[in-house]
Amino acid sequence: MIYAQWALGQIGDTAIMIEKVAPFLRQQLTELEKCELIDMVDDAACAVPVSQRYGQRVRTLKQRLGLQVD
């Protein structure tokens, strides 16, 4: 989480953030942890207004993590 906060401060664009971080997460996380990460993203999105590209970004994250995309 600390790395994600630092990276977001360095890179303001979500698409670039996903591109940079997803390969590391894909290797390090189990399938369950990847699903939990997506759940955390969804929970966080419920707490704030999201952009119109939110769904697209989550699909991209799922793809890059190697998860099945809806």
Q: Which of 68, 48, 60 is closest to 23 using CA atoms? A: 60
Is 18 part of a structural domain of the chain? Answer: yes
Is 70 part of a structural domain of the chain? Answer: no
Q: Which of 41, 43, 32 is closest to 59 using CA atoms? A: 41
**For the chain, what is the domain count?**
1
Distance CA 6, CA 10 (A): 6
Is 10 part of a structural domain of the chain? Answer: yes
At 5, the amino acid letter reads: Q
Is 33 part of a structural domain of the chain? Answer: yes
Is 22 part of a structural domain of the chain? Answer: yes
Radius of gyration for the chain, computed over Cα atoms and rounded to the nearest angstrom:
12
pLDDT tens column, 53-70: 999 999 999 999 999 997
Range of the domain at 24: 2-65
pLDDT tens column, 4-56: 666 656 666 888 889 988 999 999 999 999 999 999 999 988 888 888 899 99
